[in-house]
Amino acid sequence: MAKKVCVTGAGGFQASWLVKLLLSRGYMVHGTVRDPDNEKNAHLKKLDSAAENLQLFKADLLDYESISAAIKGCDGVFHVACPVPPGKVPNPEKDLIEPAVMGTLNMLKAASESKVERIIVVSSVAAVAYNPNWPKDKVKDEECWSDEEYCKKTENWYCLAKTMAESEAFEYSKKTGLDVVTVCPSLIFGPLLQPTVNASSMVVVRLLNGGYETLENRFRLIVDVRDVAEALILAYENPKASGRYICTSHEIKFQDLANKLRDMFPGYDYPKNIVEVDEDDIHNISKLSAEKLKKLGWKCRPIEETLVDTVQHMIETGLLNKD
């Protein structure tokens, strides 16, 4: 019999690709969404094998009963859902931290009750990289955690929420024996399955359509959405998987990224004012290592393939238009 797994936040950018890949491999999938009948989730129902093997559940991470109903009977859980605000957060505790932490705890309790085999929690390099106490000459690996007090001091609420949620997941695992593995992706690009543009894809849109009047030439770590989906399933299926896994493929400066895109897709309104910045060691995420994940067997595609597929999809679907 095919294994049955639950994917939280199934209609989102990363989760949609995960659902697609799981279905292609014969899994039965319970996907949680806010409204199964909403048009923005229609793309899930059109996936190959969705009619037979995908069931969408109306669920809210802060509503334990709804999450429990979705997880019941599943062998595993992929916890992908997490709020990603587009801009400034008026009330970080209510809008970010509570949904991330309490949502994760509700999921863990429900999974424990259903006796699932393994839980894969999608965290972020945001929970890894921001640590002023980490030795400057040492590569940031899975042992490095973002410092919660530093995140509060700098009002980096997204990093704080991801750090607290991931930390709570491991604490719960220690107390209960629940098998929890986390994957920490960097900035995710790739073609979209969902109809709306998510926060990371908006970076590409803005790079091409004049959305950056001034561009700070910072380092960015990029990974393909399809490669992250592969990493999540690898972490679930491989019995040797344990602990945390940084998931990133390519290190590139913003100007070099814009230049690559310009070479492949000329004629768009690329940033004209590039500002050099002196990135300190706290914020220099170029020092992150994905070696642990690669040793597990993970492979990633070239950045050029990711960029071409991302932009080509945006052109075909009308998300990008030349003047």
Q: Which residues are catalytic?
A: 162
The β-bridge relationship of strands 4-8 and 28-33 is: parallel
Contacts of 43 (CB under 8 A, 6+ apart): 11, 16, 193, 194, 195
DSSP letter at 97? I
Give whole-number Cα distances, 143 to 132, 136, 231, 247, 292, in Å.
14, 14, 19, 14, 11
Beta strands across the sheet bearing 243-247: 54-58, 28-33, 4-8, 76-79, 118-122, 180-185, 243-247
Our measurement of the distance from residue 39's CA atom to the centroid of its chain's CA atoms, rounded to an integer in Å, reads 22
At 280, give phi and psi (nearest 5°): -80, 175
Tokens of residue 266, six digits: 């000329």
Residues 6+ apart with CB under 8 A from 201: 13, 189, 192, 310, 314
Q: How many Å apart are CA 97 and CA 31, to the nearest integer?
A: 23
